[in-house]
Structure 1
Amino acid sequence: MPRRNRPKSSRRPESTARPLGSGFGFARTETGPDGDWIVRTVPAAQAQKDYRCPGCDHEIRPGVGHVVAWPADEYGTVRDRRHWHTGCWNSRKRSGRGFGLR
């Protein structure tokens, strides 16, 4: 009989990610010095427009995977979303760039 490579339990671990209505996957909440942010990963196949990264001020070209972040509070709207290079978003806490975008 072949071995199973996954646990026999059908129970899945709980996740802090939640589905969004946009159909682009899951979002997670991250905390930074400037508050809580909702962050969603945009895969390269879904990236179809040019954006300007607030972390490095360079373009994010179509076909480049990146993240979208917006404030998690009740005042965060669609207009507050920012598209970041994944590396810029991950290093923003060290560099201090990009904070205060509210």
Structure 2
Amino acid sequence: MSPRRNRTSHSADQGEAQPAPLGGSLRRVESFDGEDWVVQTVAGTPGRYYRCPGCDQEIPPGTGHVVAWPDHGAGVEDRRHWHRACWGARERRGAAVQRGRSAPRY
């Protein structure tokens, strides 16, 4: 008896390009606020807190989340760490407190 396959990949059969896994996560390009953003899902970094720009709450260490940055050759300082749900709802809501790029993160 052969092992059961739960899912079939129809897009791979049709020759569509799939995002390459990077460090156990997928990198893709999505649109937000009129520009393209590179988005990467990460498992979380132990010992590191981040502040989500979508809800202005902390992302605890080791928590899976999304890292996004503008696709126009932005540097490390332009990366933003979002809760997965906040990134998914980014077009429908914003943070109650708006922080500028030069404002302290914590």
Q: Same fold (TM over 0.5)?
A: yes
Give the drift of 1:26: 2.3
Q: Which runs of 5+ in 1 are unaligned?
A: 7-11
Deviation for aligned residue 1:17: 1.4
Rounded Cα–Cα distance in structure 2 between residues aligned with 1:87 and 1:60: 12
Give the whole-Å Cα distance in 2 for the aligned partners of 1:69 and 1:38: 6
**How many equivalent residue pairs?**
88
- Which amino acid is the alignment partner of residue 88 of structure 2? N
**Identity rate, percent:** 48
TM-score (normalised: structure 1)? 0.72
Contact 1:39–1:67 (CA<8 Å) still a contact in 2?
Answer: yes
- Secondary structure in structure 2 of the residue aligned to 1:88: helix
Q: Which structure: greater helix fraction?
A: 1
Q: CA RMSD of the aligned region, Å? A: 2.4
Are residues 1:69 and 2:71 paired? no
Residue 12 (structure 2) pairs with residue 3 (structure 1): no
**Please, what TM-score do these two structures have when normalized by structure 2?**
0.69
Runs of 4+ in 1 over 2 A off after TM superposition: 3-6, 23-26
Offset at residue 33 of structure 1 (A): 3.0
The change in CA–CA distance for 1:16 and 1:38 in structure 2 (over 3 A counts) is farther
